[in-house]
Amino acid sequence: MTNVTQPHIVGSGLVAGAQVLLYEGSTRLGGGVADGQGNYAIQPDSPLADGVHSLSVRQVVAGVASDASASRDIGIDTTPMDLSSLSWVVPPSPQINAAVALEFPDPLGSILSLTVSAGSQPTQVQIDPTDPRRLDFHWQTPGSGSVNLAGTVTDIAGNASSFVKPVSF
């Protein structure tokens, strides 16, 4: 899965100098030339739409095209997560250094930032290895009151989404 709409497709094992053609089904998407060792790096001439694409390559040597290679699926996703419905799995409490967990609608790819508007900042922040939709962290709360938990995360395709989650304890 990627958010890159014109991904680089690389391969090897072709005839040196062969023309390399990229296809989805019978539609030609782009092409290039194999290097002196038969390696290639090609990409679609136009952006691919969101969704799963089944891509294959053919080589052309002396005007004769080979059969298509086995196809490989690649998923394109350019839409950031909708974070309007974040939910607490383990809600914040006034407890010192409390374990806290937020559940996201889609699997996370990375955590770009996580901050609190007042008090100490979250520590031991990690994507839960058993549930990639869950963000686990520890937080020493500033006592009773309200703060905003703000962050930016990416989904597995690399799309960044930001959120602000009000917290009362």
Assign 3-class secondary structure to the chain.
Answer: CECCCCCCEEECCCCCCCEEEEEECCEEEEEEECCCCCCEEECCCCCCCCEEEEEEEEEEECCEECCCCCCEEEEECCCCCCCCCCEEEECCCCCCCEEEEEECCCCEEEEEEEEECCCCCCEEEEECCCCCCEEEEEECCCCCCEEEEEEEEEECCCCEEEEEEEEEC
What domains sit in the chain, N to C, each tagged with a CATH number? 9-76 (no CATH), 87-168 (2.60.40.1220)
Q: What is the pLDDT of residue 96?
A: 61
- pLDDT of 22 reads 98
Confidence check: pLDDT of 38 > 90? yes
pLDDT of 151 reads 85
pLDDT at 73: 98
Tens of pLDDT, residue by residue over 68-126, are 999 999 999 999 999 888 888 877 776 666 778 888 988 888 887 777 666 667 777 88
Q: Enter the pTM of the model.
A: 0.79
Average pLDDT over residues 149-155: 87
pLDDT on residue 31:
97
Comparing 12-16, 112-116, 147-151, 155-159, the range with the smallest average pLDDT is: 112-116
pLDDT in tens, 5-35: 999 999 999 999 999 999 999 999 999 999 9
pLDDT of amino acid 10: 97
